[in-house]
Amino acid sequence: MARAPAAVSGGRRALLVLRPRGALPHRAAAAASRVSTSAPGSSHGKGSASLLGSRRLFFDTHALVCLLEENGFTTQQSEVIVSALVKIMNTNLDMIYKDMVTKVQQEIALQQVMSHIGAVKKDMIILEKSEFSALRSENEKIKLELQQIKKQVMDEITKVRADNKLNLNLEKSRVKELYSLNERKLLEMRTEIVELHAQQDRALTQTDRKIDTEVADLKTMLESHKLDNIKYLAGSVFTCLTVALGFYRLWI
């Protein structure tokens, strides 16, 4: 198959189509009378005519039908091909135009956006004059209240510090008094303990002396008892001897 340029009629653009080999050119005259219905007012071009009214579509269906018939297609095939191409192009354009706007719509949207921006600016100015001033006055009131609270807190802190210092001084003086009192008590207890130790020492010395005297008395008593016992023993021994001698003399 060879590519051939399409014919241009009425100053409109045409498409490049494929020309089948062995086409019959003698059909062109017969098809020309029929294809006149494929113009923007024909039956198969009504859908495209309504779209072309709002869009600029550089596409001549009549010339394309003639071109297809010249290249060996029948009139019905040519019309079907052209209608399919028109539908495809219209569908593609619809898909493209869904994401696009016209210049008029763009200007309207821009005017709406600018009007919204102006309204927002006016609202901001009004807010700045009314609410911002109210906020500023509230902030000033809050600042004054905070300063008063800060002053009260500082006064309370100074009072608490003074009270704590006074209580601390009182506690220090009380602790000093207690310490001095305890020191005096300790001294008194020490003197009492020393006196008790002295009394105990005196009592011990007295008891030691008493014990010594008692021991000496006991020793003297023992000595005297020993002498008495010796005397008694000696007397008893002499008596025994005398008795024995008496018996001995009598016996002899």
- The model's pLDDT over 129-152, given as tens digits with 9 standing for 90+, comes to 777 777 778 888 999 999 999 999
* Alpha-carbon Rg for the chain in angstroms: 74
8, pLDDT greater than 50? no
Q: Please name which of 99, 83, 85, 89 lies closest in space to residue 35, comparing C-alpha atoms.
A: 83
- Look at 26 and 91; give whichever has higher pLDDT: 91
Please give the average per-residue pLDDT across 46-62, as a whole number: 54
From CA 185, how far away is CA 252, in angstroms rounded?
A: 96
Would you state the pLDDT for residue 41?
Answer: 36
Residues of the chain with pLDDT > 90: what percent? 27
- As a whole number, mean pLDDT of residues 151-180 equals 92
- What global pTM score does this model have? 0.29
Q: What average pLDDT does this structure show over 74-79? A: 90
Largest interatomic CA distance in the chain: 221
Query: What's residue 142's pLDDT?
Result: 92
The whole-number average pLDDT for the span 197-222 is 89
pLDDT, residue 101, reads 74
Residue 122, pLDDT score: 86
Q: Domain boundaries in the chain?
A: 2-100
DSSP H helical ranges for 99-130 = 103-129
Confidence check: pLDDT of 34 > 70: no
Question: Does residue 48 contact residue 61 with C-beta atoms inside 8 Å?
Answer: yes
User: Phi/psi at 2 (nearest 5 deg)?
Assistant: -115, 145
Q: What letter does residue 78 receive in the DSSP assignment?
A: H
